[in-house]
Structure 1
């Protein structure tokens, strides 16, 4: 798993690429990026499945913030990104959310 960040010099934006490798996806057919940046809407950010079975998605995030997120696989399994900047407990259960800081 990886998170790549590219800060734009002319805007207060960071292009963040979320990459879920095939091993982390566990053979999933679909993956969605879900988090504070999309108000936890489960299907608004579908990730592109690559030939090797991994998933990837790039989104623009305003800098100076930290965002909680998780991956939703096949609409029934949640995964964290183990290369996230940090983790915090979810207010909706006994799980941790990944956090990306930009």
Structure 2
């Protein structure tokens, strides 16, 4: 058996769990074993995007975990970061033009 960490940050709180899984378990197996879907019913652990130490895993059902891995469950973005930056730059340019 090996230990991995499973991390999820909801809008209102963060959860970090240590999960014990058998050697050869996949990322998806570890997520399901964490039980986070009972604590966060909106979370679909069979299809949610996930990463290990900040690197997205394309096929979590096929990627075995290693002892000490930190599995991070990602939430969908509420806004496109590029669009937010564009709007902020436009607002700053407008403010600068008014002050001249």
TM-score scaled by length of structure 1: 0.31
- Computing the radius of gyration from Cα coordinates, the structure with the larger value is 2
Q: Which has the higher helix share?
A: 2
TM-score scaled by length of structure 2: 0.32
Which structure has more relative contact order (CA 8 Å, sep 6+)? It is: 2
